[in-house]
Amino acid sequence: MIELQPSEQGHEDYPFLVMQLQSLLADERDFIANAAQFSAFLFQQISDLNWAGFYLAKGDELVLGPFQGNVACVRIPFGRGVCGAAAATGKTQRVEDVHAFAGHIACDSASNSELVVPLFKDGRLFAVLDLDSPSLGRFSVADQAGIERLAEVFVELTDC
Protein backbone atom coordinates (compact mmCIF):
# COMPACT_ATOMS: atom_id res chain seq x y z
CA MET A 1 0.00 0.00 0.00
CA ILE A 2 1.17 3.51 -0.84
CA GLU A 3 1.86 5.76 2.14
CA LEU A 4 -0.15 8.89 1.48
CA GLN A 5 1.37 12.30 1.92
CA PRO A 6 -0.31 15.72 1.78
CA SER A 7 -0.48 17.28 -1.67
CA GLU A 8 2.11 19.92 -2.51
CA GLN A 9 -0.55 22.01 -4.31
CA GLY A 10 -3.65 21.92 -2.14
CA HIS A 11 -2.09 20.38 0.97
CA GLU A 12 -4.93 17.86 1.31
CA ASP A 13 -4.55 15.44 4.19
CA TYR A 14 -5.40 12.25 2.31
CA PRO A 15 -5.16 9.85 5.27
CA PHE A 16 -7.72 12.01 7.09
CA LEU A 17 -9.90 12.19 3.97
CA VAL A 18 -9.80 8.37 3.72
CA MET A 19 -11.11 8.10 7.30
CA GLN A 20 -13.83 10.66 6.58
CA LEU A 21 -14.92 8.85 3.42
CA GLN A 22 -15.00 5.50 5.22
CA SER A 23 -17.33 7.02 7.81
CA LEU A 24 -19.47 8.74 5.18
CA LEU A 25 -20.06 5.52 3.21
CA ALA A 26 -20.09 3.04 6.12
CA ASP A 27 -23.84 2.48 6.30
CA GLU A 28 -24.77 2.55 2.62
CA ARG A 29 -23.80 0.30 -0.32
CA ASP A 30 -26.03 1.68 -3.09
CA PHE A 31 -23.97 2.82 -6.07
CA ILE A 32 -25.98 5.95 -6.96
CA ALA A 33 -26.19 7.13 -3.34
CA ASN A 34 -22.48 6.55 -2.69
CA ALA A 35 -21.36 8.02 -6.03
CA ALA A 36 -23.40 11.16 -5.36
CA GLN A 37 -21.99 11.46 -1.83
CA PHE A 38 -18.42 10.79 -3.01
CA SER A 39 -18.71 13.42 -5.77
CA ALA A 40 -19.96 16.02 -3.29
CA PHE A 41 -17.30 15.00 -0.76
CA LEU A 42 -14.48 15.44 -3.29
CA PHE A 43 -15.88 18.73 -4.58
CA GLN A 44 -16.02 20.12 -1.03
CA GLN A 45 -12.81 18.65 0.37
CA ILE A 46 -10.30 18.86 -2.49
CA SER A 47 -9.15 22.39 -3.19
CA ASP A 48 -9.21 24.10 -6.58
CA LEU A 49 -11.73 21.87 -8.41
CA ASN A 50 -14.43 22.93 -10.82
CA TRP A 51 -15.80 19.40 -11.49
CA ALA A 52 -15.81 16.07 -9.66
CA GLY A 53 -17.79 13.05 -10.67
CA PHE A 54 -18.32 9.82 -12.54
CA TYR A 55 -18.68 8.55 -16.05
CA LEU A 56 -20.16 5.04 -16.19
CA ALA A 57 -18.94 2.38 -18.62
CA LYS A 58 -21.74 1.33 -20.97
CA GLY A 59 -20.61 -0.81 -23.88
CA ASP A 60 -17.72 1.00 -25.57
CA GLU A 61 -18.51 4.45 -24.20
CA LEU A 62 -18.77 6.38 -20.96
CA VAL A 63 -22.08 7.90 -19.88
CA LEU A 64 -22.39 10.78 -17.42
CA GLY A 65 -23.09 9.73 -13.81
CA PRO A 66 -23.36 11.56 -10.49
CA PHE A 67 -21.22 14.70 -10.30
CA GLN A 68 -20.70 18.15 -8.84
CA GLY A 69 -19.91 21.14 -11.05
CA ASN A 70 -21.09 22.65 -14.31
CA VAL A 71 -23.09 20.71 -16.87
CA ALA A 72 -20.93 18.16 -18.66
CA CYS A 73 -20.58 16.05 -21.77
CA VAL A 74 -23.05 13.17 -21.62
CA ARG A 75 -21.30 10.48 -23.71
CA ILE A 76 -17.59 9.91 -24.30
CA PRO A 77 -16.29 7.09 -26.52
CA PHE A 78 -13.50 4.92 -25.08
CA GLY A 79 -10.17 6.30 -26.28
CA ARG A 80 -11.43 9.89 -26.74
CA GLY A 81 -10.38 12.66 -24.36
CA VAL A 82 -8.82 12.16 -20.95
CA CYS A 83 -11.75 10.12 -19.59
CA GLY A 84 -11.86 7.93 -22.69
CA ALA A 85 -8.09 7.38 -22.48
CA ALA A 86 -8.42 6.23 -18.85
CA ALA A 87 -11.21 3.84 -19.86
CA ALA A 88 -9.33 2.47 -22.89
CA THR A 89 -5.98 1.99 -21.11
CA GLY A 90 -7.24 1.10 -17.63
CA LYS A 91 -4.67 3.54 -16.24
CA THR A 92 -5.01 6.78 -14.32
CA GLN A 93 -4.55 9.86 -16.48
CA ARG A 94 -2.95 12.88 -14.79
CA VAL A 95 -2.88 15.76 -17.26
CA GLU A 96 -1.21 19.06 -16.38
CA ASP A 97 -2.62 20.95 -19.38
CA VAL A 98 -5.72 19.46 -20.99
CA HIS A 99 -5.38 21.83 -23.96
CA ALA A 100 -2.14 20.05 -24.90
CA PHE A 101 -3.78 16.59 -24.61
CA ALA A 102 -4.46 15.10 -28.05
CA GLY A 103 -8.20 14.61 -28.49
CA HIS A 104 -9.18 16.57 -25.40
CA ILE A 105 -12.94 17.12 -25.11
CA ALA A 106 -13.69 20.62 -23.83
CA CYS A 107 -16.87 20.08 -21.81
CA ASP A 108 -15.98 23.15 -19.72
CA SER A 109 -13.56 25.68 -21.21
CA ALA A 110 -12.59 26.73 -17.66
CA SER A 111 -10.92 23.35 -17.02
CA ASN A 112 -7.15 23.36 -17.47
CA SER A 113 -5.93 20.20 -15.73
CA GLU A 114 -7.53 16.83 -15.09
CA LEU A 115 -7.13 13.62 -13.11
CA VAL A 116 -9.12 10.56 -14.20
CA VAL A 117 -9.04 7.26 -12.29
CA PRO A 118 -10.52 4.12 -13.90
CA LEU A 119 -12.61 2.08 -11.47
CA PHE A 120 -12.71 -1.71 -11.57
CA LYS A 121 -14.76 -4.32 -9.70
CA ASP A 122 -13.88 -8.00 -10.17
CA GLY A 123 -11.56 -7.08 -13.05
CA ARG A 124 -14.30 -5.21 -14.95
CA LEU A 125 -14.18 -1.48 -15.70
CA PHE A 126 -17.45 -0.01 -14.46
CA ALA A 127 -16.68 3.73 -14.33
CA VAL A 128 -14.07 6.46 -14.27
CA LEU A 129 -13.72 9.09 -11.56
CA ASP A 130 -13.00 12.48 -13.12
CA LEU A 131 -11.62 15.57 -11.38
CA ASP A 132 -11.12 18.86 -13.25
CA SER A 133 -9.38 22.03 -12.11
CA PRO A 134 -9.22 25.54 -13.53
CA SER A 135 -5.50 25.63 -12.63
CA LEU A 136 -2.74 24.29 -14.86
CA GLY A 137 -0.74 21.49 -13.21
CA ARG A 138 -3.17 21.22 -10.29
CA PHE A 139 -2.72 17.48 -9.65
CA SER A 140 0.57 16.20 -8.22
CA VAL A 141 1.82 12.64 -7.86
CA ALA A 142 0.69 12.86 -4.20
CA ASP A 143 -2.79 13.93 -5.34
CA GLN A 144 -2.93 11.00 -7.76
CA ALA A 145 -2.01 8.52 -5.00
CA GLY A 146 -4.48 10.13 -2.59
CA ILE A 147 -7.38 10.16 -5.06
CA GLU A 148 -6.60 6.59 -6.13
CA ARG A 149 -6.77 5.52 -2.47
CA LEU A 150 -10.08 7.34 -1.99
CA ALA A 151 -11.38 5.61 -5.11
CA GLU A 152 -10.35 2.23 -3.64
CA VAL A 153 -12.36 3.00 -0.50
CA PHE A 154 -15.38 3.92 -2.65
CA VAL A 155 -15.15 0.64 -4.59
CA GLU A 156 -14.66 -1.41 -1.39
CA LEU A 157 -17.72 0.11 0.28
CA THR A 158 -20.07 0.25 -2.71
CA ASP A 159 -22.04 -2.33 -4.67
CA CYS A 160 -20.81 -1.66 -8.20
Quick one: pLDDT at residue 7? 44
Full-prediction pTM beyond 0.75? yes
Quick one: pLDDT at residue 6? 44
Quick one: pLDDT at residue 3? 45
Residue 72, C-beta contacts closer than 8 angstroms, at least 6 positions apart: 51, 53, 64, 107, 108
Let me know if 103 is exposed, middle or buried by CB neighbors in 10 A (0-12, 13-18, 19+).
exposed
Tell me the domains of the chain and their CATH numbers: 14-156 (3.30.450.40)
| Model confidence pLDDT, tens digit, residues 30-53 | 999 999 999 999 999 999 999 999
Q: Max CA-CA distance within the chain?
A: 42
Quick one: pLDDT at residue 32? 98
Going across the sheet that includes 75-77, the strands are: 75-77, 61-69, 51-58, 124-133, 113-121, 93-95
Q: Which ranges of the chain have pLDDT less than 70?
A: 1-11, 104
Quick one: pLDDT at residue 102? 78
Quick one: pLDDT at residue 105? 76
Quick one: pLDDT at residue 75? 97
